[in-house]
Amino acid sequence: MILGWILLGLSFAGMAMAAIPASINDPVSLLRQADSIKLSDQGQFLEILDVLGNDSARLPPDQLDYLRYLQAWGAAYRGDYKLSDSLLKGLLNHSTDVTLHFRAGVLLVNTLAERSRYEEAFQRQSLLLAELPKITDPDARRQALVIAAYLYEEAGQYDLAFTYADQLFKETPEIGEYSCIASHAELAALYKSDRLEDIDRKFQKGIDICTKVGDLVYANGIRFYEASLALQRGQTDIALQILKSNYADVQHTKYQMLISQFDASLAEAYRKTNRLTLARQYALAVVDQSKINRFAESLSIAYQVLYLTEKQQGHMEAALAYHEQYMDANKGYLNAVNARALAYQTVQQQLLAKKLQVDTLSKQNQILQLQRNLDKKASETSRLYILLLLTVLAFIGFWTYRIKRSQLRFMRLARRDGLTDIFNRQHFVHAAEQQLQYCRKSGREACLVLIDLDHFKIVNDTHGHAVGDRVLKRAVAACQAHLRSTDIFGRLGGEEFGIVLPECTLEQVLGRTERIRLAIVAVARDDDAPDICVSASFGVASTTCSGYELRQLLIHADDALYQAKREGRNRVSVSDGRAKPHLSAVGAVTDGV
């Protein structure tokens, strides 16, 4: 989602220059004029490029390279990436102008990121950062820092993102366009990494800077984070006030990604305040916009709002359709997030492997030199050199092993929830669908169990998130003690978990679920807060009643879970495959909160 801010930042910063009157006899002034108006007056920009292009045979090499850079920019702006790539790579291969060469690299990184070619983008980005100390042009340096901050943030490398945003801030001493962009990038990194100390004051400071320079897009980008945090804190009225009071300004910018973010947040806020008509209106606006520009996170939120709204109104057929679209959108969003993170880690491993390869060649040269000297040394000295050779080879083997282990570890982390070390939502869905297809083909029964810890928000609000995290870990451990190696266990989000139990009858599952329920009540208490009393509600759906499609099982199990909540929590409810589940006799006595 943040990648849309990169070109926006580079473009707005470039618009600070005033247009320079020029004539055909003054190509340098014409080139500068085109550079300064490339976003503010596209028509005149293209006219200047046509005039200079028709007269390109008269231009000296440095001016011709500048023209090709502007032509590449224009091609990228209108989506002709084939032409843009060709022009930029030509500049990167032969241009002797250090600053122009660097600007071409920055533009290429940006276009690669826009096309989701993340691995190439990170490879080019590492080359740019290596060149950065040699670049003296302030504007070129700031553009590189902007793209570094946002690109690393998208890969989940928030410390790196904050470092480059802070460097951008330091290289922008006066209040201007880049100080506003730097504020937005810093706050995005802080918000995404949950470093929320004094964040409200920092939000306001960033908004003040952007307002002072007249940049409504970035000011409202910060307000979007402010409203999102208010929704997370349960301060729905505050979030609505922020979103509604700035909505007209957001619409005026015509920046569709920001409009979709505001619409999705308004839909979520209105659903939480039970104003379902307004929630549906704003969610549908996001869906409609996705036909032109597909912003994955906003679309995922919109479909979730539509699914929950239709479900709350009892429109189960519509809810099922929206739930399927929500799962597809959410899966696409998570795939994009994982792709960026994997691309970053892959490039880092490649850089490390390349460095190791260079070191290895250096060591091999040293070994060859030692071998030449062996003939001149005594046998005792020869044995010493051989020992040194073996030590070097062992060192190389050790580092090769370490790199392989790092790669395997990262692949495992991409499938696991960071807190509980069980499957994350994306991998749970994938594994569950495969297991259900196997059970369908082999004629075996399977069950899906949804688990939601009761009143868990109270634990977080009363004792803090650190205690809440420990309670979650203990609850997961309690569940794992009663699961088989073939069972699929994953965290679906927050305090909600899912278990797929293949080759189990409904009666067997109910017995195991009841044991899990009692185990959670028994172990969820925390030594640091002995007054905590945590229980869980369970929703069970069976393939016998609900079929083997995961989305149908999820809806029926979710209905059963909500029935257990309504009936008093700390119990197991079983879906019979119809809209209204019935309460199982298992776990009917309420033990906890």
pLDDT tens profile 392-409: 787 777 777 776 776 656
Which is nearest to 429 in space by CA: 579, 294, 554, 559?
A: 554
Neighbouring C-beta atoms of residue 531, cutoff 10 Å: 8
Q: What average pLDDT does range 197-213 have in this prediction?
A: 91
CB atoms within 10 A of CB 16: 12
Query: pTM for this one?
Result: 0.58
What spatial distance separates the first Cα and last Cα of the chain, rounded to whole Å? 39
Own/partner pairs, 133-136, CB within 8 angstroms, 24+ separation = 134/98, 135/98, 135/99, 135/102, 136/99
Instruction: Give the tens place of pLDDT for each residue, 556-568.
Output: 999 999 999 999 9
Q: 391 CB contacts (<8 Å, ≥6 apart)?
A: none
Check pLDDT > 50 for residue 325: yes
302-316 pLDDT tens trace: 999 999 999 999 999
How many separate helices (H) and strands (E) can be counted in the chain?
Answer: 25, 6
Look at residue 468 and give its three-state secondary structure.
Answer: helix
Tokens describing residue 319: 């809810």
Distances (CA, A) of 209 to 29, 159, 206, 215: 32, 23, 5, 9
Q: Copy the structure tokens of residue 458.
A: 């109270």
DSSP class of residue 132 equals G
What are the tens digits of pLDDT across the range 456-475?
Answer: 888 888 888 888 889 899 99
Evaluate if residue 3 carries a pLDDT over 70: no
Give φ, ψ of 234 to 5 degrees: 80, 10
Class of domain 1-155 (CATH, top level)? mainly alpha
Question: 425-583 has which CATH code?
Answer: 3.30.70.270
- What is the residue type of 403? I
Mean pLDDT score of the chain, rounded to an integer? 83
What is the distance between the alpha carbons of residues 28 and 70, in angstroms, rounded to a whole number?
A: 13
Which amino acid, one-letter code, is at 430? H
